Chain A
Amino acid sequence: MVSDEYGFFIDPQRCIGCKSCVGACAECGTHKGRPMIHLDEMDRLNSTQTAPTVCMHCEDPICAQVCPADAIKRSEDGVVHSSQKPRCIGCQNCELSCPFGVPIVFSGLEQMLKCDLCYDRTSEGHKPMCATVCPSQALLYVPKHEISALRQNKPVREFTVGSLKVKTRNALMVPDPDKPLHLDAALLLADGGW
């Protein structure tokens, strides 16, 4: 069981794009070189913004809802697991339906694998690998009650995707809209709002 006391908080504002999370995820014993994390450069022309995507662990996971083989399970502690190997038919329904773009069907395996919150680590009281190594702590794993003292950004666990309302175990940290973001050196020099 993964302790309910701990929460996973994702803050893209702090992300420095170093892909430590991706590299470390691939090193996990069970992953055998396959990272389950996605890290995207959003729009390098316009910004250095990058964003890590780990599984949000939905309360009612869409990937599991659409799985025709009933291969995707959510354990009692709220963790959504990789597909069960004997059941997974590699149909990619999960890949296509996940609102966050998390599951990956690996062609050599014909199986969907995904971020499972490093179940082998978190169920033994350790942090997930990515949140352990993340240099800027854009990926943060701490007791939930500490987050308001630790961070100024606000955690969000409810998302609207089309007509769906999605509630998640993991939280996305939403920045203060009034804080400045510096994207264009030329604009900054012309009108930096000093």
Chain B
Amino acid sequence: MSTSLQELASLDRVIHEPARLMIVTVLYAVSEADFIYLQNECGLTQGNLSSHLARLEEERYVLVQKTFKGKYPLTICSLTTKGRKSFEEYARIMRAATQGPARGKS
């Protein structure tokens, strides 16, 4: 078994869950986003998004802040440094597994 394949076993299971992977990908691309934007981008229900954000917050991957833009209340979410590094590591492992030497030669 190749090393890159074995590395798949060490994938971060918090990020690996599809809904959470979507959330983390969006937050990785923007510096911060609010609840409605994440809901629209990921196509999740309010309850679903809340529970996944809570899980990510629990792992300290995501920082959730309640604030205001003018009079409009915002729940702003952003990736923490730990979350950013974990996502980068996750992406590296997936890249290595899917673009291994056999595919790289083509």
**A and B from one assembly?**
no
Binding site for A on B (CB under 8 A): none
Binding site for B on A (CB under 8 A): none
